[in-house]
Structure 1
Amino acid sequence: MLSDLANLIEQDHLALDAFVKGNPEPLKSLFSQRDDVVIANPFGPPAKGWKKAAETMDRAATNYRDGEIIGFDRISEYATTDLGYIIEIERVRSKVGGSDKLVPISLRTTTIFRREKGAWKIVLRHADPITSPRPAASIVGE
């Protein structure tokens, strides 16, 4: 059972490679389509429910072009027979927005997986650019 989760994590990493090339479909195919699915990315507020999550992934993928995965630094992982998570630093290079320059991007990510009808699915993905210490003032809104 947990080897199935390891396979899904590998598929997730391959799907992220497509994502930074501008293609959200492989990643979307790994997500639960239930009402409690959540995606939280650096481009906007969290989206809950499959319809909003899918729209958010579509919109986020339009920010990337010609990207590639550099690597994944696993910080933590845990799994039971029906629920699991990974925390990683994802490192990619991509063209972002209107830029024609490949730039390095590092994201702190948390991904939660759930077994649904015998198959593992992603139920939450949170990604943000906080990968190093920041001053307390950095959390104060404008």
Structure 2
Amino acid sequence: MDNREDFLAWVNSTLYQAEVALHNGNAAPRRAIWSRNEPVSLLGAWRDAFGQQQVDEVFTYLEHSFSDCTSYAVELQAYDVAGGMAYTSALEHTSASVDGQPRTYTLRATQVYRREDGAWKVSHRHADTLGA
């Protein structure tokens, strides 16, 4: 596999599974794929965070907010790999409960990744609701 194929396989497996787990109330897989090296940042649909402590606080908030994911689909719009960096741009279609209320929504999400110790790690995420 070349770098792009390897990265895409990771996006479609490890990253995807971490997002499904988060939408079922388990942030541990997402934490595992996020960089522990600064800088990290999150411009989220509901909350923003800069630095490890704030990012972790958002993950805790999200895992307490999300549950009962019935559908999560990623419509990858673009991606690329350049050396030890990569990015994705996607539409994320989700049906899950948020604070106990069923919701269906689509986010536009762009993420930046770094290769750290041979593994891809998320270093930045920017997501907002489609049409916002």
On whether the aligned pair clears a TM of 0.5, the verdict is: yes
Identity rate, percent: 23
Q: Report which of the two has the higher share of helix.
A: 2
Report if aligned partners of 1:43, 1:60 keep a CA contact under 8 Å in 2: no
**Runs of 4+ displaced beyond 6 Å:** none
Where does structure 2 lack aligned partners over 5 or more consecutive residues?
none
CA radius of gyration, larger in: 1
Q: Name structure 1 gaps, 5 residues minimum.
A: 135-142
Q: Distance in 1 between matches of 2:15 and 2:113?
A: 11
How far does the alpha carbon of each residue in 1:52-85 deviate from its partner, in whole angstroms, 9 at most, with x for none?
Answer: 2111111122211111333111111111121110
User: Is the Cα–Cα contact under 8 Å of residues 16 and 69 in structure 1 kept in the other structure?
Assistant: no
Match of 2:18 in 1: 15
CA contact (8 A) 2:25 2:63 kept: yes
Instruction: Report the TM-score, using the length of structure 1 for normalisation.
Output: 0.82
* CA offsets 1:69-120 (integer angstroms, 9 cap, x no match): 3311111111112111000000111111232xx3212111011111122221
2 CA distance for matches of 1:68 and 1:32?
28
The number of aligned residues is 129
Cα distance, 1:39 vs structure 2: 1.7
Q: Is residue 2:7 matched to residue 1:5?
A: yes
Structure 2 length normalisation: TM-score? 0.88
RMSD (Å) for aligned C-alpha atoms? 1.6
Give the number of the structure whose residues are more often strand, by fraction: 2
Q: The residue matched to 2:33 in structure 1 has which SS? A: coil
Alignment correspondent of 1:36: 39
Task: Pick closer, same or farther for the CA change 1:68–1:112 going to 2, 3 Å.
Answer: farther
- Specify the alignment match of 2:92 in structure 1: 90
- 8 Å contact from structure 2 (residues 27, 63) kept in 1: yes
